[in-house]
Amino acid sequence: MRRQRFDIVTLVWEIFELLEQQAAQRGTALQLFPPVLPEAGIQVVADRNRIRQVLVNLIDNAIKYGRDHGRVVVALVESGRSVRISVRDDGAGIAPEHQGRIFERFYRIDKSRSRESGGSGLGLAISKHIVEAHKSTIRVKSTVGEGTTLEFKLSKPKSGRVETKG
């Protein structure tokens, strides 16, 4: 874990660029919410590479398991000392009996369909591990036939920076 201060907005754009081709193949729109974000970005304190790995997996999942010509929305919402980061798709959703198990290693709901879309079933197990190493929790909310949201929080930098006066 290498905790550092960085802008989560820039990171999300970077990942959108990385997954642009894959999204285009399914006709999926990648969107950021709110559409107009603070010019200075949104600062968080976390291990940037590891959080990148989490977001790549969540957005990759949202594209793979979302619907064709659907959309994937990454929302960044500041509340108090933290920023809530969520990734939402409008795919088939995850039935309640599977929701608790998708974080297990190698757990894949529809083996044949999942095999088609590649992957090993490790992404969410690794993501959970990384988010928990940040003393946070990853949660799933899903409605069959409507879609799925995965979300977690990261800390904002402490205010009270030393400021030099003119």
User: 36 — phi, psi (to 5°)?
Assistant: -110, 110
**Does residue number 123 form part of the binding site for Mg ion (CB under 5 A)?**
yes
We find the least distance from the C-beta atom of residue 27 to ligand ATP, in angstroms, to be: 17
151 binds, among ligand ATP, Mg ion, none (CB under 5 to 8 A by kind): none
Q: Which of 53, 109, 129, 141 binds ligand ATP (CB under 6 A)?
A: 109
94 binds, among ligand ATP, Mg ion, none (CB under 5 to 8 A by kind): ligand ATP
Nearer to Mg ion (CB atom), residue 61 or residue 136 = 61
Q: Looking only at residues 52 through 71 of this chain, which bind Mg ion when binding is defined by CB under 5 A? A: 57, 61
The whole-angstrom separation of Cα 47 and Cα 127 is: 13
Q: Which of 23, 62, 85, 154 binds ligand ATP (CB under 6 A)?
A: 62
Nearer to ligand ATP (CB atom), residue 83 or residue 138 = 138
**Residue least distant from ligand ATP (Cβ):** 123
Strand-pairing partners, residue 86, are 75, 151
Backbone CA torsion sign across 53, 100, 147, 110 = positive
DSSP-assigned letters across all residues of 84-148 = EEEEEE-SS---HHHHTTTTSTT--SSHHHHHHT---S-HHHHHHHHHHHTT---EEEEETTTEE
